Structure 1
Amino acid sequence: MGPRRSAASSRGRLLLPLLLLGVSGFFQSYAVEVDIKDASNATCLYANWMMRFLITYESNNGDYKTTTLNLSSSATHNGSVCGNDTQAALVAVQFGEGHSWSINITKNNETYQGDFMTLTYNTNDTAVFPDAKRKGPVTIFIKDPAGPVQLNTVFVCHNSFIIEAENITQIFWNVTVQAFVQNGTVSKKETRCPADRPTSAPTVPPTSANATTPPTTAAPPAPTPPKPVENPDTGNYSLKSGNKTCFLATVGLQLNVSQDKPLLININPKTTVADGACGNTTATLKLNDGNSTLIGFTFAVKNASASVQKFYLREVNVTLLNRLNGSVISSADNNNLSKWDAFLGSSYMCRKEQTLQINENVQVHTFNLWIQPFLVEANKFATAEECLADSDLNFLIPIAVGVALGFLIILVFISYIIGRRKSRTGYQSV
């Protein structure tokens, strides 16, 4: 018998909401459970998961902003299909003001695998996109990076994982999926995602069963003082518009988060992926470090109509995610900055450490900064305008050298005077 669409024979219900507390407010997302049944009323596809979307869009004044799109309590799953040997299974969800998400799942011999995801978000939803320049639905297709799963096996991923494409960041957690369910019963055999797989425990050397010497009571070890956090490694990041590089950045980044206790986090450039958007008057660089830290830097042009123009850092937003459940540990935004300004067509450089205060709980420290968000030519930095701290250092070096030379001249002069006096006293008449 062929499968029937979920409108007639499937059921879905919304589970308890998960409230995610961040520094700047509450983020609410809902889990969705979909149990699709075939014509004989047997389960053919089961899915239970949570997800959230971070979307970068262009505002009416040409700026780029990042917003959060969550599943709503009124989500539906119309159009979901069981699938068979020749037809892909489909899990489809509709939520909010005209938003939808779906995933195609194909069967291949003894395995099934997600093919591609489709997200349609509607910028007419003013609650999520209050000032979007482009109005109406926008559709993005994303390749599912997960590998194949054996039939009669359920795919499980409790820990959060991120999939990025274009201007979209998808965050998933608490995922349970089985397509092409056999005999109407969801399998108890699991395939875990890499994030859920346990790490190997250290091997404990065995003790001798025939040992007769009683164990010696050792004194408790002295507490080890915490190791200071070193400066972060410097990373090189770039964005392209078509085939041309439009944004260059070299920087070491460190986060200082103060909640229950101070937390210093070094951003590892080896695991950090750069994304963003280039524009004529605004440009945004988004950095994703190991699927747990998201940092966005937005630059703008001052006095866009003036003959002499400068750019500056206008906004920084930081989001920290819990690897275990995908919840937001901390979310902070400062859109009223006026830092790192330089003439348009130049780059900005500051080798010394700088601190960006995002809010009362979050700081971003930068090291060895060199950045150019506009008018990049030949994939190279233009002439740099240095920060005041570096300029002071450049002035201090020749001053210090001059002072040292002055002392040396004075010492030579004093030695000369003393030498002349000694020579005069040596030739007195007897």
Structure 2
Amino acid sequence: MARFLSRPLAAAARPSLPLGVSVAGSMGPRCSASCLLFLLLLGTSGFFQSYAVEVDVKDASDATCLYAKWMMRFLIKYETNNSDYKNAALNLSSGVTHNGSVCGNDTQAALLAVQFGEGHSWSINFTKTNETYQGDFITFTYNINDTAVFPDAKRKGPITIVVKDTMRPVQLNNVFVCHNTDSFEAENVTQIFWNVTVQAFVENGTIGKKESRCRADTPTSAPTVPPTIANVTTASTTTSSPAPTAAPKPVENPDTGNYSLKSGNKTCLLATVGLQLNVSQDKPLLINVNPKTTSVDGACGNTTATLKLNDGNSTLISFTFVVRNASASIQKFHLKEVNVTLLNRLNGSVISNADNNNFSKWDAFLGSSYMCRKEQTLEINENLQLHTFNLWIQPFLVKANKFSTAEECSLDDDSILIPIVVGAALAGLIAIIVLAYLIGRRKSYAGYQTL
């Protein structure tokens, strides 16, 4: 259940950041010079006379669980039947609905979704950790069949774009606030946001009193300069000196994260692991997965379990475990498949999607856990490796939210090294004795002559 309030905003009002995106490091490329000029022209014609939307999503007990209030506009470039291109301004009308908005919890993302006009919709989902929440993906669908907005459009039907939100993590029970303007472009669409107030995963139905401000609103930030003809001209003619290139720092081992899945009220999967990606498609690149910003999803079953990790930035990793010989009296599980998706941080597009479903690793008896403290390498494909550190995993039969007895990997079993070293030393000593004996015998025979 959600409550909406739409009201016109004065023409002088200044548009703000996308939900959770700061001026430094926004969700996508900034407006080009032509875009800024177009914004200026629209502004003089009352373009920024918009509607504020207030959404109050409530849970089953009628307590607020997700609150947002913001303003937004869209500039869309589309092709006409004459094969030329026009710019359309899509306004947020007063007739807004909220179908699909959900509260979210520890394992499910919260979703803020609105629908408006003739088949247009916009949504953002939020994920949380133990201490923070942040925006994840923004999905915008515009319907070119809306002839009032897209007259003489060549293409018909709805078009959907998905972009990755780069919202910085916000402390739970804090309200994210950003009054300043921001805009970004992706796939011929410029999204413009301002006067944003949002809090996901509201606790006890009470909106937090502490604010987390975007960089653009902080006193130390450079002031936002409204677009003018002079600004556009300067931006297109001025060349700045490149910043000095710092020497690359070596990538340290990743932090170890603790992840879990629940089935109902019971924990069904436990995992402790540090993850590092080695990407060599264009140039060697090491990426550490940050557990502090990583959300968990997946599913538990009797013979199959899947753990999905989303680092909230640009990496999605999925592990699939299966029970081997499910009908046998003695059963073991192992890692069967790993899928890694790398996203473009600017627009959320997929850079790489790698999958290997032929693994037979991390095997242990059903009802126990698997542990390997040393670094292991999983070959996803020729361009991508996944390194694990301090691994401890149990995808089945978790009891009392604790790991069962662990079966350790051979890399961790230092006790094996002692007999190996002693055996090798003894073998070497025996070989030396035998060799010395043979040499001694040959020398003794050399002293006698045949009569």
What TM-score does the superposition give when structure 1 sets the normalisation length?
0.48
What TM-score does the superposition give when structure 2 sets the normalisation length?
0.46
More strand by share: 1
